[in-house]
Amino acid sequence: MNKVKIFLISLIFFLNLQINSYSKTIPSSFADLAERLLPSVVNISTTTTVTTQSNPFPFQFPPGSPFEDMFKEFGTPQERQSAALGSGFIIDEKGIVITNNHVIQGADDIIVRVDGDKEFKAKVIGADPLSDIAVLQLETKEKFKPVKFGDSDKARIGDWVIAIGNPFGFGGTVTSGIISARNRSIGLSRYEDYIQTDASINSGNSGGPLFDMNGDVIGINTAILGRSGSIGIGFSIPSNNAKIVIDQLIEFGETKRGWLGVRIQDVTQEIADIEKLDKPRGALVASVAKDSPSDKGGIKEGDIILEFDGQAIQEMKQLPAIVAKTKVGKKSKSENLER
């Protein structure tokens, strides 16, 4: 009987440990974290002047009519103001703000609201449409509370994350979720390596931060799937990729990306079989620009690049992203399969 009691007590103790261990991985509340981070997340509003041609005739030409373009020049140019909303976050106490390029692109005026009620004008330090990142400077001498970047390479599928932003103009909105997937490409920009999350992201969240449970920025919320609003699939630029661009924009006002000088295409199953690869992988070189780094390095048309700068190329789309992150002027080795 004593042995049975000891066994039951031991079992209960073991189950207790398991439950406590599991519960530690589930946040009981995001309140403390949100309270600490909210002052560093900003709301961005922009105004843009849009010029349109008014129709001088009391009727409309049918779509595609040759007369539509012919008589367009007779219209009177009319200007109107267009407003847009977005989000951002402060990375320096002097008021350096990070957001998406599409949030501020073409804007005449940029107003940044900090901590709910303080408004400041902002100027663009630098912007990069290819990665959809922009850096702003608040025009004030005030000091601000910044957040810091985390290591997005350490973020794992299933990790808890929170997003803070300005969806539909409702500033200071906090949503939570997990990392749903990594290394997503959705065809929005040239250099894509998105973190996918199910934390609710809507129109106006663009440019806002995606935080890990340490309160570090591991992503910049950039896109949603579907136009009707959040359906649990949002995309963020990984912080490690973004930081390379941000540092260059702050230092130079523009980006300085690595360049190989090759046109590439996917390696098909047929090509993999011919070249005796274990599976379709790498990037097939379709052409090489004359006097480019690739040309000088001996890369030939028909080669398959399997590795660049120590990183394996599993899919063709990985190569441009890896090369773009490589410092200009750096000597990098590549593993090529010559055809």
Rounded to an integer, what distance in angstroms lies between the CA atom of residue 221 and that of residue 233? 11
- 330 burial (CB, 10 Å; 0-12 / 13-18 / 19+) is exposed
Q: Determine which one of 132, 193, 198, 303 is catalytic.
A: 132
Rounded to an integer, what distance in angstroms lies between the CA atom of residue 168 and that of residue 165? 10
Q: Determine which one of 206, 239, 294, 334 is catalytic.
A: 206
Q: Determine which one of 40, 87, 102, 200 is catalytic.
A: 102
Torsion of CA 252, 254, 260, 262, to 10 degrees: -160
Q: Where are the alpha helices (DSSP H) in 24-159?
A: 31-37, 66-70, 101-104
Catalytic (active site) residue 132: yes
* Locus of tokens 């070249």: 275
Q: Which of 140, 128, 138 is nearest to 97 (CA)?
A: 138
Rounded to an integer, what distance in angstroms lies between the CA atom of residue 303 and that of residue 295? 12
The catalytic residue positions are 102, 132, 206
